[in-house]
């Protein structure tokens, strides 16, 4: 793995990136909300020390909230189909925290399970992910429970860290990342030695909520599909779906046809298991007709069903659902109800 020091300041590095033919997406304030947005000039960029994390994740750039998948027209009883264009401009998504970069290995698995989603993968293949280590945390973060750390580079092509001299350096994690650095050689300098681990990241790791034993959590879930706790844990839920929409790993969608007199479009729209219509059958029967059943589904999917199928959790501990929940439902506290903390030295 090659390492490169950013020669001047971070903004200069971004200037170099913008001079290449990429669409650059990075954390930016829009109407007071920090979200991943298009960056037009280096002055708009926030350095990794200027934010904890964004309100929404980057998933909308790979799996948009709504997108057409096919168009059609009618002539009498005949239907004519027309493919839709998938944006092909190469992108760089810059400044993702480890909890967001790691979400791609989860989404990659699901979007090629049984069927390969060309919409998602075309965007994935055209995008370079530049992650950034966390220089601070808040009380909602719990990435260490899911096996990550403030300086995990999993899922990134390039990863930005600070060395002990408070300078930023880049780790090339994949060949795709290394090819991008080669185009930015005026802004970086290759390091001969691996930089020493910055004690800052260890300090942050210790500040993060203690690790929950997810193996024990899964054992409890394996045996407690029916349990009165589900009623108690979900009683405050408003079924608003904010948790799923902001989550970097939630990926449920619905397919709808929007039809005019002689033409239409088939759309893929985000959906969420907390909505009561999500499982409503056309017969009128709804197998998840209570909040308890729907909340159980959310927790089971994250920490049991996904683990059964892919041997990993459908959660990276980013804490977004905790920050956003209007009634303070905290998924970390929920899981802690049925699993112990991991003993730490």
Catalog residues that contact ligand SF4 under the rule CB under 6 A. Answer: 237-243, 246-249, 274, 302, 315-321, 324-327, 329, 331
24, 39 contact by CB (below 8 A) = yes
The nearer residue to ligand SF4, 163 or 239, going by C-beta atoms, is 239
In whole angstroms, the minimum distance from the beta carbon of 95 to ligand SF4 comes to 17
- Helix (H), strand (E) at residue 6: strand 3-6
In whole angstroms, the minimum distance from the beta carbon of 142 to ligand SF4 comes to 7
Structure token pair of residue 320:
């977004």
The nearer residue to ligand SF4, 6 or 325, going by C-beta atoms, is 325
In whole angstroms, the minimum distance from the beta carbon of 26 to ligand SF4 comes to 20
In whole angstroms, the minimum distance from the beta carbon of 232 to ligand SF4 comes to 14
Q: 206-209 — which CB contacts under 8 Å span 24+ positions?
A: 207/137, 208/137, 208/141, 208/142, 208/143, 208/144, 208/150, 209/139, 209/141, 209/142, 209/144, 209/145, 209/332
d(CA 112, CA 162): 35
| Residue in this structure with the two tokens 């080669």, named with its chain if needed | 182
d(CA 165, CA 253): 46
The nearer residue to ligand SF4, 177 or 319, going by C-beta atoms, is 319
In whole angstroms, the minimum distance from the beta carbon of 327 to ligand SF4 comes to 5
In whole angstroms, the minimum distance from the beta carbon of 56 to ligand SF4 comes to 10
Structure token pair of residue 130:
């530049």
In whole angstroms, the minimum distance from the beta carbon of 235 to ligand SF4 comes to 10
The nearer residue to ligand SF4, 24 or 148, going by C-beta atoms, is 148
The nearer residue to ligand SF4, 214 or 247, going by C-beta atoms, is 247
The nearer residue to ligand SF4, 62 or 169, going by C-beta atoms, is 62
Cβ count near 239 (within 10 Å)? 15
In whole angstroms, the minimum distance from the beta carbon of 236 to ligand SF4 comes to 7
Q: Where are the alpha helices (DSSP H) in 6-151?
A: 10-19, 98-101, 103-110, 118-125
34, 103 contact by CB (below 8 A) = no
Measure Cα distances from 243 to 55, 175, 228, 269, 323 in Å. Answer: 11, 34, 23, 16, 9
- What residues form DSSP beta bridges with 5? 169, 189
Rg (CA), the chain: 22
The nearer residue to ligand SF4, 170 or 339, going by C-beta atoms, is 339
The nearer residue to ligand SF4, 6 or 318, going by C-beta atoms, is 318
- Among 145, 165, 300, smallest CA distance to 208 is for 145
């Amino acid at each position: 793995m090659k390492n490169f020091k950013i020669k001047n300041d971070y903004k200069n590095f971004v200037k170099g990136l913008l001079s290449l033919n990429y669409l650059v997406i990075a954390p930016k304030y829009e109407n007071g909300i920090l979200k991943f947005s298009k960056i037009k000039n280096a002055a708009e960029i926030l350095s990794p020390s200027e934010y904890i994390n964004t309100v929404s994740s980057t998933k909308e750039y790979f799996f948009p909230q709504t997108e057409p998948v096919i168009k059609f027209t009618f002539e009498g009883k005949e239907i004519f189909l027309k493919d839709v264009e998938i944006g092909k401009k190469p992108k760089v998504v810059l400044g993702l925290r480890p909890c967001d970069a790691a979400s791609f290995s989860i989404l990659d698995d699901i979007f090629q399970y049984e069927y390969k989603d060309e919409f998602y993968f075309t965007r994935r293949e055209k995008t370079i992910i530049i992650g950034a280590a966390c220089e601070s945390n808040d009380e909602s973060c719990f990435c260490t429970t899911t096996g990550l750390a403030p300086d995990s580079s999993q899922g990134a092509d390039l990863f930005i860290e600070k060395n002990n001299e408070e300078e930023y350096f880049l780790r090339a994690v994949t060949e795709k990342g290394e090819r991008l650095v080669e185009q930015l050689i005026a802004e970086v300098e290759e390091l001969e030695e691996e930089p020493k681990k910055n004690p800052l990241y260890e300090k942050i790791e210790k500040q993060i909520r203690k690790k929950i034993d997810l193996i024990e959590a899964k054992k409890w879930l394996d045996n407690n599909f029916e349990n009165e706790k589900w009623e108690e844990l979900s009683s405050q839920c408003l079924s608003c779906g904010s948790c799923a929409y902001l989550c970097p790993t939630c990926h449920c969608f619905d397919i709808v046809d929007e039809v005019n007199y002689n033409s239409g479009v088939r759309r893929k729209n985000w959906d969420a298991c907390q909505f009561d219509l999500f499982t409503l059958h056309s017969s009128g029967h709804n197998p998840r007709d209570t909040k308890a059943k729907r909340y159980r589904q959310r927790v089971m999917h994250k920490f049991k069903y996904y683990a059964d199928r892919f041997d990993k959790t459908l959660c990276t501990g980013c804490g977004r659902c905790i920050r956003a929940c209007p009634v303070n439902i905290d998924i970390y506290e929920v899981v802690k109800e049925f699993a112990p903390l991991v003993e730490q030295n």
